Structures are given as C-alpha cells and as structure tokens.
C-alpha cells in the first residue's frame, strides 16, 4: 500500500495517507454529524455537530497512527527497520524492511497493535466517564464514547487470526513456531485471511440484499479488501519460497553503467549511453564511490536552460534514500522493499564499491528463470 499524500516523519518513520482515508474520514464525519450526534443530543446548530464529528474523526485517525507507531517502535526494538507507515481504508500498515527474526519477535511486533487500541479504548471510556461526572457538554461525552467503542472494536477486529490483520501475524507466528517453516506459516495465514474475507463479503452482500443497509455494503467492501490483501500475501509467500536460498548476486546486473555526480543534466540526457539504455542509473562521486541514484524522469523535469547548470548530483536521490544490499544477502530479504518504478532500484555494494543493481523486473526474470531451469542450477538474470 503506497501513500498518496505524505505527511512527514515521526521518530524517523515516514508517515503517509492513502486516498481511501479521505473516503473513510468523510463517512465517519458524516455519520456522526448527520446521524449519531443529532439523534443522541438534539437541539444544537448543524455547525456544532459538524465540528464535533470532524474533531472526533481526526482523533480516531490519530488513534490509528498510534496503533501503527507501536508496531514500528517494537519492530525496531526487535531489530526490524521500518520503511514507512501508511493510513488506509482498513486502518493502517507499517511496512517493515525485513522479516522478524523469530516467532517470539513476530508475536511482540504484531501483538502490540491490538494492545494499544485496547488501552486507548479504555482511556477514552474513562475520559467519557470523567466528562460525564463533571457535567461536560453531551456532545463531547458522546464523541469520547464513540472513540472508546471504535478503538475496542478495532482491537477485536485486528486480533482475528487472518492475514493481513495483526491476528494473522499472530497466527503466522504460531504456525512458524509449530512447523519451523516461516514461508509455510505465511501461506497458512494468507489462506485464513482469504476465508475470513470471503465470509465478510458474503455476509455483507446478504445483509445488503435483505435490509438494504449501508452497513452490509461496508462489510462487503472490507471483505473484498481483505481477500485482495491476503491473496497478495499468499503470492509473496510463494515468491519467497521460489527464491529461497538465492543470493542477490544471482539476480543483479553486475557492473552497471554509472553517472558522475558532476555531469550537467543536458549532457546526461544527450549521451546515448544513458539516454537509450535504462530509466535509472547509479550516481558516483569522486573516486567512483556510489552517492545516489538518478532517474531519467527526474533529469527531464529540469526545464530549458537550467539543464546546462544543474548537475546530476542536484537531482539524484541521495544514497541515504536508496535501498542498498550486499551481493551475498538473501534475495528474499529484499522483497519487502522492492517496488515497481525507476526510483526503487537497489544498489548492490561490496563494502563501498558498487558491484551491481537490482530492480523488480530483475526479480521477475529470476523467478521465471528458476521455474524454467529447476532447482540446482545457477546463473544471472539480466537487467
């Protein structure tokens, strides 16, 4: 799940929002401002209901962010780096750069999310009780009650043992512990996720046909998203199984063409060596050490006469923002970080020396080659 709108960083973790959050935000605010709040506390001006509904929706998404940040913090404490957090239709997703090292670490990382939501639900419930005791405005109490209920519901829903929910991660940890096979455990959790998704989708459609309620439609949509996400996890598990034991050096393109950081953009775009081969290139500094990655799209974004004064180093992604790997790293460990697009190449370094480059298409070709050649053979996929 990729962010549509970046929000910045918290504790060094990139935070983003998927467009589907806008839909959920609007539904929550509308449901509160036009439904629950006027029904439970009539007599207020419409603008008061809307302000309360919008504020409650904002606090709800802050709760979701706290849930995902808890995953990120515990993941880091267990040696797993976090790439980013994206809030989306079903809540949020903390994208990890690697897998947990053990079933116990997986339990800690996955279990903390529902625990945080459970604690937040209790805190909001206590806050509602305190506000009622001091005779606070009824709308404020109602907002707190709603936040308590939705966080408790979020904790219970996320604990369902079905991928990609947190409960699915807990199920995977259990299966991993029982079988000793992480990939088989992932496939099992993904299957549970598809079954649960189909259950919700069918139940939602039945409710929609029998009652015509919006809740039925919403349940079906959630089920459909769960099916899609669980299916993706299953495919990724199969991909990891195919690539098990394959080092990065077997899939990378060795000795890639690089671009000097000081080369002006106009010369970079005009040179056939760069213009007609690929869509992204490693950038090297003094002494040939890699310093970043430049894409043709970034270079072409420089307008007119500025191309002669702006250098490749000015428009590149610095090395700190580029995924890197070593030749002997397991290819499966890179999969969580691999994405389509020129800006997502992985630079392969032997110490400080650039020895290769890897793209998502390289991995696809490696998979095809392995399936065609069978186990036990070796070779190189081409970039």
pLDDT for 275: 66
> Strand runs (DSSP E) across the chain, as ranges?
5-10, 13-17, 82-88, 91-96, 253-254, 259-260, 280-284, 290-295, 317-318, 323-325, 346-350, 353-358
Secondary structure letter of residue 160 according to DSSP: S
**Distances from the Cα of 23 to the Cαs of 27, 197, 330, in angstroms?**
6, 20, 39
pLDDT for 383: 36
Residue 305, Cβ neighbours under 10 Å: how many? Answer: 9
Q: Look at strands 346-350 and 323-325 and give their pairing.
A: parallel
User: What's the rounded Cα separation, in Å, for the pair 327 and 315?
Assistant: 27
| 68 counts as catalytic | yes
Whether residue 164 is preceded by a cis peptide bond, meaning omega within 30 degrees of 0, is: yes
Which of 44, 109, 48, 39 is CA-nearest to residue 74? 109
Q: Are 37 and 49 in contact (CB under 8 A)?
A: yes
pLDDT for 89: 67
Question: Which is catalytic among the residues 68, 106, 142, 233?
Answer: 68
**Structural domains in the chain, sorted by start:** 5-243 (no CATH), 248-373 (3.10.580.10)
pLDDT for 382: 37
pLDDT for 242: 81
pLDDT for 18: 81
The predicted-structure confidence for 71-104, as pLDDT tens digits, reads as follows: 999 998 998 888 788 887 667 777 777 778 899 9
Low-confidence ranges of the chain (pLDDT < 50): 375-383
């Amino acid at each position: 799940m990729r962010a549509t709108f970046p929000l910045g960083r918290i504790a060094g973790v990139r935070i983003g929002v998927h467009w589907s959050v806008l839909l959920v935000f609007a539904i929550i605010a509308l449901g509160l401002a036009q439904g629950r709040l006027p029904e439970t506390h009539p007599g207020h001006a419409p603008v008061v209901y809307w302000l309360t509904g919008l504020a409650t929706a904002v606090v709800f998404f802050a709760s979701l962010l706290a849930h995902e940040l808890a995953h990120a913090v515990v993941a880091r404490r267990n040696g797993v780096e976090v790439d980013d957090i994206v809030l989306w239709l079903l809540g949020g997703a903390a994208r990890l750069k690697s897998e947990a090292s053990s079933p116990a670490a997986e339990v800690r990382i996955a279990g903390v999310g529902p625990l945080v939501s459970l604690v937040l639900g209790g805190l909001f419930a206590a806050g509602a009780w305190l506000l009622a005791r001091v005779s606070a405005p009824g709308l404020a109490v109602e907002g707190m009650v709603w936040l308590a209920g939705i966080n408790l519901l979020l904790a219970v829903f996320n604990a369902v043992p079905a991928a990609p929910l947190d409960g699915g991660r807990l199920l995977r940890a259990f299966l991993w512990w029982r079988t000793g096979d992480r990939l088989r455990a992932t496939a099992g959790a993904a299957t549970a996720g598809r079954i649960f998704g189909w259950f919700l989708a069918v139940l939602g459609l039945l409710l929609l046909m029998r009652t015509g309620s919006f809740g039925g439609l919403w349940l079906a949509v959630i089920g459909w998203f769960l099916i899609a996400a669980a299916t993706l996890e299953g495919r990724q598990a199969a991909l990891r199984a195919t690539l098990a034991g394959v080092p990065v050096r077997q899939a990378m393109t060795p000795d890639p063409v690089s671009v000097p950081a000081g080369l002006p953009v106009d010369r970079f775009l005009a040179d056939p060596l760069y213009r007609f081969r690929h869509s992204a290139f490693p950038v090297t500094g003094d002494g040939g050490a890699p310093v970043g990655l430049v894409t043709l799209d970034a270079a072409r974004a420089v307008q007119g006469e500025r191309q002669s004064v702006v250098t490749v180093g000015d428009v590149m992604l610095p090395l700190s923002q580029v995924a890197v790997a070593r030749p002997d790293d397991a290819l499966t460990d890179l999969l969580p970080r691999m994405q389509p697009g020129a800006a997502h190449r992985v630079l392969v370094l032997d110490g400080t020396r650039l020895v290769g480059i890897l793209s998502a298409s390289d991995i696809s070709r490696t998979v095809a080659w392995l399936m065609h050649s069978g186990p036990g053979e070796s070779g190189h996929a081409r970039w």
